A and B are shown apart, each in its own frame.
Chain A
């Protein structure tokens, strides 16, 4: 007997749903929740789940200079120094060193002089390493019984089944030596490695330029002779020496720099100065590995608390706790004022607490945010789209979590970044630039008119702090409250900062020769704002700028272009006004004030300077030179205040704002403390796995009723369909029209 059509249909639908149910069961049976993106083993272990939105391009420590890359690299590599996790102001401490470097000041004849001598020609740093620090387990170190390297002569066959360095059978380690730090400096000097700080370091390290020129030329010759690319030609840098860098013994090395440059120590917290074993470079330069994207640029090898065991920049990066990690303890002191005392609960315990870190690629904010809310990411930032859901802002501007988030136990940290976003005037421009009284007054008037309080409120949801000068909070030289305000733009009234009235701006504009925005030629003053903001989202922001200028009767013309052209125009000083920003490299005022130092002006440096406003005030420059190499003393503070006053008066920038970062984290994540200058902070984090499991289970119970409704709807529609079909098949033809049956 033939199976009725509707029966077949019904069975097929059931088959499909049973299959889905079955697959769901099979695929999810290993984990507690259906919608978990992780395996049960991962969620039940002390694994930190995080995300990245931009694929890292470089993981070679001498090349990488990007925050998303450093987020990973800094867990793997260990430069000699680090920032104390808790202390404020930011304080340096030894990382792989036994103690802070010994510093000697020398005159031009290399005789020791005192730190405040005017004859300082060189500064010598002596670094003494802790003994017994081990590199991660790695095939580059593996040797056979005769002492020959096992994997330094690989061929196609040997790497046939190799997909990552973890696939090699033999993985060994060796002790960290002073020569590994020196080797890293030598790699930095090789121009073909494209280290972004090579030219900066040439100015400081004795003999670095000569060494760089020598090895770069030698390497170039070797590349031509062997007809190879940089990626595949190993070059023994140990056959050359840098005159200012010496290995003293197994655990000590010395760096000599020109003159006095106290900020040099801050550079030593960066990954550029992390140790590289020569064996790693020899190993990774093998063509058969390069073809598989197994290079030092993709697979770092360090001494840090974590080892990168998986690097798929398009999917996931996975760090595993370093089994060879030395004993490093959680800090026992230095809790900053106002910080949560619970931050010291783990004092004195060995690091790291988290055993595995999984970074997943999330290019879009919607899945990232929802996964955080489901408990599948341990921490998250807050995008503008999600701001209102997460944060409520009181009338006084104070930020708090919404009730929904408080109920979930979510915590939040809100801190001002050591960053400035500024609105710059091109001081070389004949209209907005210049140093005459009239030109100054024009810039001052515009600075008053551009209401950055409003900007922060409208476009940043209040996530910004008004800038009073180039130095952000937390950096020496910044002054809070009334003494620190920019008197050119603001007044201090009733205990709070207040922008000068628009009438003052109009008065200054008139004194500048533009009464009501009208120039001497009787035409309205027209100014140009160059920007790389071209998308539809930027239009409201650009209109806002137009409105600010229109308040003074000044017409603002927006010149939008792509980022390449914009950069090019700034470099060639072909802009009139522009916006730009600067993130601190290190917590020293020099790192911000040099943005206004005349010697760094783009027009004086063939476009490579960082003083994009081309500000060049001789008195400011003189004070900068004086302040640059000083220790953080009251005298230095006084000089900085003088410099700020000069700059505020000249108004080469309309100053802008210091952005605030808002980060959310779940209650099971502990020891979270913002330290924007330190990147190696994952080792301090601790996770309460049981609490996470409970919350994830509670928040992610599958809702089954929609499933049942869909099935019923499908079943319910079968009978009417069958009836209609039968009616059509048995209908009597009532006309001779073809399609009416």
Chain B
């Protein structure tokens, strides 16, 4: 397995270089360093001297991919791409174009993002699996039909609606929890109840339908018929056999998202005033802050690759027949 992981990590290097090339190309296709300087300087009158000074200080006076003025290897080395990319591979995210330390910002914002994403993920997973099992227990009944209709209805409504409706109902009308805000420690629980509830509820439709289809497929297999023939109750069959065997396809979709939970949720965090990473990249794109954009795209790619590797590893844990090589 170790050899497999090392191999996968080495494969990740060209992928990350490719991601960087695309990020650098796309960003500078839309924004010129002069535009970035104007956005960062924020002056009513921006003089050429101010722009040039800002570009030199932030390294944007260098060519993007090829330095025609340099000689030899410096033609490649003395470029914005190489100098900034190398730092990223050392996980040195440097500073944002407005001067803040990106690593410190990420560390500070990761906790609040996880505070919402992790309980939403775990409670959502357990709820969806539990409800899917319940529906499978009553498969073919009116309860199954009605629940599936409700699930489709839940899926069809925008997540934004649940957020606003939840805020209006639970906070504005019934006064149970704060509309938005965040605090660390136990005091923060009251701020998390509503976003977590909404996050779980908004995901029930899709999650329940997906897990139901997985469990139904398992239910049609021979080992289930055998178990039933042995006289096991439906509950014992479901929890004792179907759940375990259904975990493999569930893992495919679940484990891969675990590392990306750190990245937060844009809409949820914006509406609930959670100081997480959700809006960090979007805000940076709007502010034309390339320092943050490149760091966050790189980090997102790394986390996704880690998620895929973890998924492969998790297969071996749930299905001994799978060997990584």
Please report A residues at the B interface, Cβ cutoff 8 Å.
Answer: 5, 20, 23-24, 26-28, 30, 33-37, 39, 55, 57-58, 65-66, 191-192, 194, 196-200, 216, 229-231, 290-293, 295, 297-298, 312, 314-316, 360-364, 366-367, 370-371, 373-374, 376, 562, 564, 567-568, 585, 606, 608-610, 700-703, 706-707, 721, 724-725, 728-729, 738-740
A314 x B275 contact (CB < 8 A): yes
Most chain-A CB neighbours within 10 Å: which of B45, B168, B179, B279? B179
Given contacts A312-B108, A360-B181, A564-B31, contact A199 B49 (CB under 8 A): yes
The contact string, 1 if C-beta is below 8 Å from chain A, for chain B 32-57, is: 10010010111111111110011001
Q: Smallest CB-CB separation from A565: which chain B residue?
A: B35
- Which A residues lie within 8 Å of B283 (CB)? 55
Q: Give the residue of B45, B47, B171, B186 whose beta carbon is less than 8 angstroms from that of A35.
A: B171
**Interface check B244, CB cutoff 8 A:** no
**Interface check B233, CB cutoff 8 A:** yes
A700 x B175 contact (CB < 8 A): yes
A37 x B53 contact (CB < 8 A): no
B95 x A315 contact (CB < 8 A): no
Please report B residues at the A interface, Cβ cutoff 8 Å.
Answer: 30-32, 35, 38, 40-50, 53-54, 57, 95, 98-101, 103-105, 108-109, 112, 137-141, 143, 164, 167-168, 171-182, 186-187, 189-191, 193, 220, 225, 233-235, 270-273, 275-276, 279-280, 283, 287-288
A199 x B98 contact (CB < 8 A): no
A725 x B137 contact (CB < 8 A): yes
Most chain-A CB neighbours within 10 Å: which of B30, B171, B233, B288? B171
Given contacts A314-B109, A367-B273, A567-B38, 5 further A-B contacts (CB under 8 A): A291-B101, A291-B104, A366-B271, A370-B171, A370-B179
B190 x A315 contact (CB < 8 A): no
Measured in the bound complex, the distance between the Cα atoms of B41 and A198 in whole Å is: 12
Given contacts A191-B53, A363-B279, contact A608 B101 (CB under 8 A): no
- Which A residues lie within 8 Å of B50 (CB)? 191, 194, 196, 198-199
Given contacts A27-B186, A366-B271, contact A562 B30 (CB under 8 A): yes
- The 6 listed contacts between A and B (C-beta, < 8 Å) are A26-B189, A37-B180, A370-B171, A567-B35, A609-B45, A729-B233
Q: Give the residue of B99, B176, B190, B279 whose beta carbon is less than 8 angstroms from that of A297.
A: B99
Q: Smallest CB-CB separation from A163: which chain B residue?
A: B108
Smallest CB separation, B76 vs chain A (Å): 22
Nearest first, the 8 A-B pairs at minimum CB distance are A196-B43, A315-B275, A37-B181, A367-B180, A314-B275, A564-B35, A37-B178, A27-B190
Q: Give the residue of A55, A376, A606, A724 whose beta carbon is less than 8 angstroms from that of B141.
A: A724
Given contacts A27-B187, A739-B140, contact A361 B176 (CB under 8 A): no
B273 x A360 contact (CB < 8 A): yes
Measured in the bound complex, the distance between the Cα atoms of B109 and A312 in whole Å is: 10
Given contacts A373-B172, A701-B175, A703-B175, contact A367 B233 (CB under 8 A): no
Smallest CB separation, B285 vs chain A (Å): 12
Smallest CB separation, B112 vs chain A (Å): 8
Measured in the bound complex, the distance between the Cα atoms of B168 and A290 in whole Å is: 42
B167 x A366 contact (CB < 8 A): yes
- Which B residues lie within 8 Å of A562 (CB)? 30
Given contacts A198-B50, A728-B138, contact A703 B99 (CB under 8 A): no
- Which B residues lie within 8 Å of A192 (CB)? 53, 57
- Which A residues lie within 8 Å of B181 (CB)? 37, 360
A703 x B178 contact (CB < 8 A): no
Smallest CB separation, B138 vs chain A (Å): 6
Smallest CB separation, B93 vs chain A (Å): 12
A610 x B45 contact (CB < 8 A): yes
- Which B residues lie within 8 Å of A702 (CB)? 174-176
Q: Give the residue of A33, A216, A608, A728 whose beta carbon is less than 8 angstroms from that of B46.
A: A608
Smallest CB separation, A63 vs chain B (Å): 8
Q: Give the residue of A371, A608, A609 whose beta carbon is less than 8 angstroms from that of B179.
A: A371
Measured in the bound complex, the distance between the Cα atoms of B43 and A700 in whole Å is: 44
- Which B residues lie within 8 Å of A33 (CB)? 175
Smallest CB separation, A193 vs chain B (Å): 9
Q: Give the residue of B44, B179, B191 whose beta carbon is less than 8 angstroms from that of A65.
A: B44
Measured in the bound complex, the distance between the Cα atoms of B54 and A738 in whole Å is: 74
Smallest CB separation, A612 vs chain B (Å): 11
Q: Give the residue of B42, B46, B57, B176 whose beta carbon is less than 8 angstroms from that of A24.
A: B176
Q: Smallest CB-CB separation from B170: which chain A residue?
A: A35
Q: Smallest CB-CB separation from B52: which chain A residue?
A: A191
B43 x A363 contact (CB < 8 A): no
Measured in the bound complex, the distance between the Cα atoms of B187 and A27 in whole Å is: 6
- Which B residues lie within 8 Å of A609 (CB)? 45
B54 x A194 contact (CB < 8 A): yes
Smallest CB separation, A262 vs chain B (Å): 20
Smallest CB separation, B116 vs chain A (Å): 13
Q: Give the residue of B32, B177, B272 whose beta carbon is less than 8 angstroms from that of A564.
A: B32
- Which B residues lie within 8 Å of A291 (CB)? 101, 103-104
Q: Give the residue of B109, B138, B193, B273 whose beta carbon is less than 8 angstroms from that of A362.
A: B273
Smallest CB separation, A369 vs chain B (Å): 10
Q: Give the residue of B41, B101, B164, B271 whose beta carbon is less than 8 angstroms from that of A292.
A: B101
Smallest CB separation, B169 vs chain A (Å): 8
B167 x A370 contact (CB < 8 A): yes
Smallest CB separation, B242 vs chain A (Å): 14
Q: Give the residue of B38, B99, B177, B235 whose beta carbon is less than 8 angstroms from that of A295.
A: B99
Measured in the bound complex, the distance between the Cα atoms of B93 and A291 in whole Å is: 11
B275 x A35 contact (CB < 8 A): no
- Which A residues lie within 8 Å of B32 (CB)? 564
B179 x A724 contact (CB < 8 A): no
- Which A residues lie within 8 Å of B38 (CB)? 567
Q: Smallest CB-CB separation from A725: which chain B residue?
A: B137
B178 x A36 contact (CB < 8 A): yes
Smallest CB separation, B102 vs chain A (Å): 10
Smallest CB separation, A534 vs chain B (Å): 13
B45 x A724 contact (CB < 8 A): no
B99 x A706 contact (CB < 8 A): no
A608 x B178 contact (CB < 8 A): no
Smallest CB separation, B62 vs chain A (Å): 16
- Which B residues lie within 8 Å of A703 (CB)? 173-176
Smallest CB separation, A390 vs chain B (Å): 15
B270 x A606 contact (CB < 8 A): no
B174 x A367 contact (CB < 8 A): no
Given contacts A364-B270, A367-B271, A367-B272, contact A374 B179 (CB under 8 A): yes
Q: Smallest CB-CB separation from B109: which chain A residue?
A: A314
Measured in the bound complex, the distance between the Cα atoms of B95 and A295 in whole Å is: 13
Measured in the bound complex, the distance between the Cα atoms of B179 and A365 in whole Å is: 12
B177 x A35 contact (CB < 8 A): yes
B54 x A5 contact (CB < 8 A): no
A39 x B187 contact (CB < 8 A): yes
Q: Give the residue of A20, A66, A567 whose beta carbon is less than 8 angstroms from that of B193.
A: A20
Measured in the bound complex, the distance between the Cα atoms of B234 and A5 in whole Å is: 12
A28 x B190 contact (CB < 8 A): yes
Measured in the bound complex, the distance between the Cα atoms of B104 and A292 in whole Å is: 6
- Which A residues lie within 8 Å of B276 (CB)? 314
Smallest CB separation, B100 vs chain A (Å): 5
Measured in the bound complex, the distance between the Cα atoms of B190 and A28 in whole Å is: 8
B270 x A363 contact (CB < 8 A): yes
Measured in the bound complex, the distance between the Cα atoms of B42 and A562 in whole Å is: 17
Smallest CB separation, B8 vs chain A (Å): 32
Given contacts A37-B191, A564-B35, contact A293 B101 (CB under 8 A): yes
Q: Smallest CB-CB separation from A197: which chain B residue?
A: B43
Smallest CB separation, A693 vs chain B (Å): 15
Q: Give the residue of B47, B140, B190, B193 whose beta carbon is less than 8 angstroms from that of A199.
A: B47
Given contacts A290-B101, A360-B181, A729-B234, contact A34 B35 (CB under 8 A): no
Q: Give the residue of B49, B99, B178, B280 whose beta carbon is less than 8 angstroms from that of A191.
A: B49
Smallest CB separation, A626 vs chain B (Å): 23
Smallest CB separation, B99 vs chain A (Å): 6
- Which A residues lie within 8 Å of B53 (CB)? 191-192, 194, 216
B177 x A65 contact (CB < 8 A): no
A231 x B99 contact (CB < 8 A): yes
Given contacts A37-B180, A367-B180, A702-B176, contact A610 B44 (CB under 8 A): yes
